[in-house]
Structure 1
Amino acid sequence: MTAEQRILLVEDEELIGEMVKLNLEREGYVVDWVADGAKAAPTLAAHAYDLIILDVMLPNRTGFEIARDVRKAELDAPILMLTARSETDAKVQGLDSGADDYLTKPFELAELLARARALIRRAQGRRALPSTRAVKIGRYAVNLDTREAETNEGPVVLSEKEAALLELFAKHPGRTIPRADILEEVWGMDAAPTERTVDNFIVRLRRLFERDPETPRHILTVRATGYRFEP
């Protein structure tokens, strides 16, 4: 890791903010910490970040709103969202807002550090890939270099994980990919998501690209196993 890798931490709980900042700095990262959601935008405008860690419940602006602003601005930094809410709806809302991963409070510090490393590593790897690469999904196409796509909801910029998941599917059309393999390929062994994480991402992708998300034709469920992609 280079000393120039920079992380924005947006967290209003002082003890958590201090703990996370201190330990990230011990790992060699440069960390900017703000405790007010309204201060995220000017901080993002001042620096380029390798990772953004967002709490959901913040003064003045929520983490969901900040994540949406980041994606609208086409910033490619991966987003790790922290939430005290373990309900699936809250996690799906975070992913829909543009987050690449989420962590439920209270969390183990080692897990947060592992997820931070994984997100940064994958973002750097994707930036190093040659252009231009695309994935065709029915009537739509996704530019894997910019992560831009026309969708059922209009033009969107996919998250790093969404694009990586589509790229994995595109490499293996017609093949059943077990959830465990998807977790290893997209999230990596040093992160600790669950198979439900994969399911949440699939729900989002179907809503964006399938004509009828309830009866998908391209991203198909293989019962008790995983998913199969049919372009």
Structure 2
Amino acid sequence: MERTILIVEDEPSIVTLIKYNLEKAGFLTDVVYNGEDAIKKVEKSTFDLIVLDLMLPKMDGMEVCKTIRKNNNYIPILMLTAKDDEYDKIYGLEMGADDYLTKPFSPKELIARINAILRRTEQRSENVAPLVLEVGDIKVHPDRFEAFFKGDPLELTRKEFELLVYLIQHKGQILSREQLLSSVWEYDFVGDTRIVDVQVSHLRDKLETDSKNPTYIKTVRGFGYKLEDPT
């Protein structure tokens, strides 16, 4: 089955590079050159993945990503940027991007990242069972991408949701930052573990009445985190 990728990029030379290599690798492609057109295109058509530039006219990549996720669309997003800045990387992932690639990049790395994202997405779709995960007042439906706390819906980004599911599935276990990074983000890069701390902090803000004395997600000093059942 041929898979279609939406390229959202305003530099013609980069569009040509990406389009040529994606089609050479067997993908179908579609192209838009600004953020507003990207939103319109996603609303009207179905894509398997979006290659999304950060710096775009009319609406930047962060806003595009945020808007797509607000509409509960979990299409995989690979974000491109000319900035090699940790803040941009973390913020992009917080907005719901699945991965991040800094320009200049090699076509081989681009294709490898895309294939890895698609492979993970397909595996998760195949392995998701129609079950309910419950810990204390938290209830999660992995098959529907829905989570509730004390009966109220939780507004979570894709990665916050996946992190919560993983923590619940490993309830009571001490999980290192590196383990969480490898399992939820599938990253093995040293120095990226701050991403885990940021996402855990966001989850605590939505689950805990006192984030300094958390009931659910406990910090294991010098190692990582553990989700506990308060009951």
Quick one: structure 1 residues 207 and 15, their matched pair in 2 at CA, closer, same or farther if it must change by over 3 Å? Answer: farther
When the two chains are superposed, the root-mean-square deviation of aligned CA atoms in Å is 2.8
Aligned to 2:35: 37
Distance between the aligned counterparts of 2:139 and 2:97, measured in 1? 21
3-state DSSP of counterpart to 2:155: strand
Aligned to 2:109: 111
TM-score, scaled to structure 1: 0.82
Offset of residue 119 of structure 1: 1.7
Quick one: structure 1 residues 136 and 55, their matched pair in 2 at CA, closer, same or farther if it must change by over 3 Å? Answer: farther
Offset of residue 157 of structure 1: 4.9
TM-superposition CA deviations, 1:182-206 (whole Å, max 9, x none): 23323347x7683333333323323
Residues 1-231 of structure 1 mapped to structure 2, 5 A cutoff: 2-3=1-2, 5-136=3-134, 138-150=136-148, 155-159=154-158, 161-188=159-186, 194-231=192-229
Letter in 2 for 1:171: Q
Unaligned runs of 5+ in 1: none
Distance between the aligned counterparts of 1:137 and 1:100, measured in 2? 26
Quick one: structure 1 residues 216 and 112, their matched pair in 2 at CA, closer, same or farther if it must change by over 3 Å? Answer: farther
TM-superposition CA deviations, 1:85-120 (whole Å, max 9, x none): 344433333233222222333334433323222221
Kept in 2, the 8 Å contact 1:134–1:141? The answer is: yes
Kept in 1, the 8 Å contact 2:208–2:215? The answer is: yes
Moved over 6 A (4+): 151-154
Distance between the aligned counterparts of 1:162 and 1:117, measured in 2? 22
Distance between the aligned counterparts of 2:101 and 2:29, measured in 1? 19
TM-score, scaled to structure 2: 0.82
Kept in 1, the 8 Å contact 2:94–2:157? The answer is: no
* Fraction of identical pairs, as percent: 38
Distance between the aligned counterparts of 2:131 and 2:153, measured in 1? 20
Letter in 1 for 2:44: A
Offset of residue 154 of structure 1: 6.2
Letter in 2 for 1:53: V
Kept in 1, the 8 Å contact 2:90–2:195? The answer is: no
TM-superposition CA deviations, 1:137-183 (whole Å, max 9, x none): 55333321222234699642531x33332222222211112233323
Distance between the aligned counterparts of 1:219 and 1:108, measured in 2? 39
Over alpha carbons, which structure has the higher Rg? 2
Offset of residue 8 of structure 1: 1.3
> Which structure ranks higher in relative contact order (CA pairs < 8 Å, sequence separation ≥ 6)?
1
Distance between the aligned counterparts of 1:200 and 1:19, measured in 2? 34
